């Protein structure tokens, strides 16, 4: 399964975003950003499955919880940044 990591600007924003997505019925997991994608030191992500990406981004933007970046987790364990 393909997962996406939505990088948030702080732990608080990640928590707010995760709760927002959970209330909308989207399974969301709060995780520390892997060092490979953490550009500003310590960062937190919301991990979601591929099928929820568009809806999750619409909800987050609607609440002004704009992400720092979105990354696709490849089966090899690497990450690639995506535009959404």
pLDDT band (50, 70, 90) for residue 40: low
Residue 52, pLDDT above cutoff 90: yes
Residue 66, pLDDT above cutoff 80: yes
Fold of 3-82: Alpha-Beta Plaits (3.30.70)
Summarize the confidence of residues 45-63 as an average pLDDT. 95
Residue 76, pLDDT above cutoff 70: yes
Q: How many CA atoms lie within 13 A of 30 on its CB side?
A: 17
pTM listed for this prediction: 0.89
Pairing of strands 44-49, 29-32: antiparallel
Q: Where are the domains of the chain?
A: 3-82
Lowest mean pLDDT among 19-28, 54-63, 74-83: 74-83
Nearest CA to 54 out of 12, 31, 84 is that of 84
């Amino acid at each position: 399964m393909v997962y996406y990591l939505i990088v948030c600007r702080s732990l608080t924003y990640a928590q707010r975003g995760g709760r927002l997505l959970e209330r909308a019925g989207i399974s969301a997991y709060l995780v520390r950003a892997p060092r490979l994608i953490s550009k500003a030191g310590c960062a937190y992500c919301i991990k979601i499955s591929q099928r929820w990406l568009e809806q999750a981004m619409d909800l987050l933007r609607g609440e002004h919880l704009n992400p720092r970046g979105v990354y696709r987790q490849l089966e090899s364990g690497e990450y690639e940044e995506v535009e959404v």
